Amino acid sequence: MYFLKRLLVLPPLLILISLIAFLLVRTAPGGPFDKERKPASPEIERRLLERYHLDQPLWKQYLLYLKGLSQGDFGPSLKQRNHTVNDIISQALPVSATLGAAAFLFSLGVGIPLGFYTAARRGHGFELAGSSLALLFVCVPALVVGPVLVIVFAVHWSIFPVALWGGAWHMVLPTITLGLYFSGKVARLMREGMLTTMHADYIIAARAKGLSESAVLWRHAFRIAVLPVVSYSGPLLADLLTGSFVVESLFQIPGMGVFVINSALNRDYPMIVGLVLVYAVLLLVLNLLVDAAYTWLDPRVRYD
Amino acid sequence: MLTLGLFLHPWFSNQSPTTLTDALAHPPSTLHWFGTDLMGRDLLSRLVYGARISMMVGLVGAGVSLFIGVLWGAVAGYVGGYCDGIMMRAVDILYSLPSVIFVIVMITTLEGLFKNWLLQNFSPEAAGVARLLFLFAGLGAVSWLTMARIVRGEVLSLRTRSFVDASRAMGASHTHILLTHILPNVAGVVIVYLTLTIPSVILYESFLSYLGLGIQAPQASLGSLLAEGSAQINSLRLYWWMVVFPGLLLVVMLLTLNFIGDGLRDAFDPRSEKI
């Protein structure tokens, strides 16, 4: 029931978000045609505006946009002529999503074990090394990792291709670049979760029953300790799937991150609103899934 | 602390960060410890200046986020009811907009509005300073959301405590209660979160400078130095020092700040044992 209600709220929420994004970009000064052929004759400019209905009053434009949206049409791109926003999204999103999913798996695959074992093996040298490593990862942004990886592995040793997109081999460096920072974050969340869980009553009870250490850790502690990671992974996945400008521009990957930045810089109105909506849909749906996962992992959580 | 000390000494290197020399893109040598950039400027002194700017942006940006976040969260949590609902829904909605778009539109908007006015009334340098101010505003404007949530949560639980009721019964005004009873109690959590906001703002600034939206040449921040360096990657000539040194400095800076933040959190949080 609870989730049904949440699902029903989604469409109005998305409409509200589209309205805010629409108003935000429209009230900002500057227009999509500012940068091209500067001495554009007033005639050309008028025709361009007319072609894209930009001469209509704002509320009318928004209603027109909503009408298109209801038929699944995000409108034309004002910068990439002859391409609709749908075209661009359907070309760029799969690329970004593949890379994003790989980076997501990488950051969970590295972060969860790292956080888990540094919390489980307290007092060893391993703990210090592991948590220092996680802290280091959090302090190494993609801006730094990317160029260094390219210089070392692609230019100097030529193990991996420098750039471009195609095949799994091309994905290794971008995935690490994108995922390293988040793997550190996940590790820290996981560790924190474990440390708080290990003091809970039911863990003490499980120990008292004489369960083996691994059964206590894996069957009882892990489920609850992973919750912070789960709630973080919703927004994280939405972020990663929609692309990263730094990684995509560094490795020349034809993904969405580049369009996000350029559309905002160029005031490509339908494009911005379209991309914002894609992101918002992903984020809201993933957050819903996160909340559903909560009830499954932690039986104490109930929504009504 | 070592890192902080470095920023306070711009005279660390006796070469000006904008002086051009004939040594174009030289690797590190005894004259230029960290090498020179494409225009022959000493990389070490550029790094010192850049790091100072990054640090300043981090501090001021976090300050702006502190101001908005605490005000917003405190009012929402204290007033409660419909007001709380509306204010927190606004935060939720801002969360679901990609912040990059928001920042870009905001910075370019502010710049569009003020640039001509500044150029007419002041010098071109003023426009550069204004860019810095817009950067502060933009970064602060996107990083206050979590702060607002944290403060609101704290205020909600403080509001019902008996010392607040007592104060109200004695006829204290709302502003008085907020300022003297509630905010001091929130301060611990806020300070901890603030120290963790600074590195994230610095990170964001380096990202924006990488896009070319942040600090403008001839000034430099760590992000713009990294962008310059990584634009020069090619297989013919490796200018590795242009990437490695700014990157290293950024990492060390973030590490220091995160250390401080973690330490403060452990100190303030009674539940966490010594790690």
State how far the Cα of A33 lies from the Cα of A50, in Å rounded to an integer.
13
Q: Is residue B29 part of a domain?
A: no
A250 contacts on B by Cβ (under 8 Å):
230
How far out from the chain centre does Cα A204 lie?
38
The two tokens of residue A45 are: 């400019």
Share of chain B above pLDDT 90, in %: 0
Q: Is residue B36 part of a domain?
A: no
Q: Which residues of chain A have pLDDT under 70?
A: 29-40, 79, 81, 158-164, 166-168, 301-304
Output the pLDDT for position B18. 53
State how far the Cα of B157 lies from the Cα of B87, in Å rounded to an integer.
17
Choice between A224 and B233, residue whose per-residue pLDDT is larger: A224
Rg value, chain B, Cα: 22
How does DSSP classify residue A185? H
The tens digit of pLDDT for each residue in A79-112 reads 676 777 788 888 888 888 888 899 999 999 999 9
The two tokens of residue A32 are: 């999509």
Output the pLDDT for position A254. 82
Torsion of CA A148, A152, A154, A156, to 10 degrees: 140
A180 exposure class (CB count in 10 Å sphere: 0-12, 13-18, 19+): buried
Output the pLDDT for position B128. 65
Scanning every residue of chain B, which has its alpha carbon at the shortest distance from the alpha carbon of A147?
A: B230
Q: Is residue B87 classed as helix, strand or coil in its secondary structure? A: helix
Domain range holding B257?
42-268
Mean pLDDT score of chain B: 73
State how far the Cα of A243 lies from the Cα of A174, in Å rounded to an integer.
11
Q: Which amino acid is at B101?
A: I
Output the pLDDT for position A232. 85
The two tokens of residue A29 are: 């000064």
Output the pLDDT for position B275. 41
Q: What is the largest CA-CA distance in chain B?
A: 77
Average pLDDT, integer, range B92-100: 79
Per residue in B6-21, is it b (16+ CB within 10 Å) or e — as a string? Answer: bbeeeeebebebeeee
B260 Cβ under 8 Å from any chain A Cβ: no
The two tokens of residue A211 are: 């369960």
Which residues, in sequence order, are bridge partners of residue B42? B36
CA distances from A204 to A162, A213, A267 (A): 52, 11, 58
State how far the Cα of A131 lies from the Cα of A109, in Å rounded to an integer.
16
Average pLDDT, integer, range B133-149: 82
Q: Where are the domains of chain A?
A: 86-267
Surface of B (148-187) touching A: CB under 8 A? none
Mutate to test the interface with A, among B47, B101, B236 (most CBs of A within 10 A): B101
CA distances from B126 to B105, B118, B131, B140, B220 (A): 21, 7, 9, 21, 16
- Considering only CB atoms, A279 lies closest to which of B98, B109, B206, namely B98
Nearby residues of B121 by Cβ (< 8 Å), 6 or more positions away: none
A262 exposure class (CB count in 10 Å sphere: 0-12, 13-18, 19+): middle
Which CATH number is B86's domain given? 1.10.3720.10
B275 contacts on A by Cβ (under 8 Å):
131
Closest residue by Cα to residue B266 from B256, B275, B258: B275
Nearest chain B CA: its distance from A50 CA (Å):
24
Q: Is residue B173 part of a domain?
A: yes
Mutate to test the interface with A, among B103, B105, B203, B253 (most CBs of A within 10 A): B105
Contact B93 A29 (CB under 8 A): no
- Considering only CB atoms, B207 lies closest to which of A25, A246, A280, namely A246
Output the pLDDT for position B39. 60
How does DSSP classify residue B36? B
User: Any idea which residue has 């227009």 for tokens?
Assistant: A31
Which pLDDT band holds residue B13 (cuts at 50, 70, 90)? very low
Q: Is residue B42 classed as helix, strand or coil in its secondary structure? A: strand
Nearby residues of A221 by Cβ (< 8 Å), 6 or more positions away: A194, A197, A198, A203
The two tokens of residue A115 are: 């956080």
How does DSSP classify residue A186? H
User: Any idea which residue has 């929130």 for tokens?
Assistant: B186
Output the pLDDT for position B31. 55
Nearest chain B CA: its distance from A43 CA (Å):
25
Output the pLDDT for position B11. 44
Q: Is residue B193 part of a domain?
A: yes
Q: Has this prediction a pTM greater than 0.90?
A: no
How does DSSP classify residue B27? P
Choice between A122 and B153, residue whose per-residue pLDDT is larger: B153
Average pLDDT, integer, range B3-11: 48
* Cβ pair A110, A179 in contact under 8 A: yes
Q: What phi, psi does A227 have (nearest 5°)?
A: -55, -45
Q: Is residue A286 classed as helix, strand or coil in its secondary structure? A: helix
Contact A144 B250 (CB under 8 A): yes
Output the pLDDT for position B274. 43
CA distances from B53 to A142, B203, B224, B248 (A): 20, 13, 11, 16
Scanning every residue of chain A, which has its alpha carbon at the shortest distance from the alpha carbon of B254?
A: A139
Scanning every residue of chain A, which has its alpha carbon at the shortest distance from the alpha carbon of B114?
A: A29
B271 contacts on A by Cβ (under 8 Å):
196
State how far the Cα of A122 lies from the Cα of A128, in Å rounded to an integer.
9
* Cβ pair A282, B107 in contact under 8 A: no
Mutate to test the interface with B, among A14, A27, A139, A283 (most CBs of B within 10 A): A139
Nearest chain B CA: its distance from A301 CA (Å):
20
Contact B207 A265 (CB under 8 A): no
Contact B258 A260 (CB under 8 A): no
* Cβ pair B273, A119 in contact under 8 A: no
State how far the Cα of A160 lies from the Cα of A172, in Å rounded to an integer.
8
CATH number of A86-267: 1.10.3720.10
B230 contacts on A by Cβ (under 8 Å):
143, 146-147, 150, 250
User: Any idea which residue has 């990663």 for tokens?
Assistant: A240
Residue B208: CB atoms within 10 A of its CB come to 23
B255 Cβ under 8 Å from any chain A Cβ: yes
Q: Is residue B14 part of a domain?
A: no
Output the pLDDT for position B254. 82
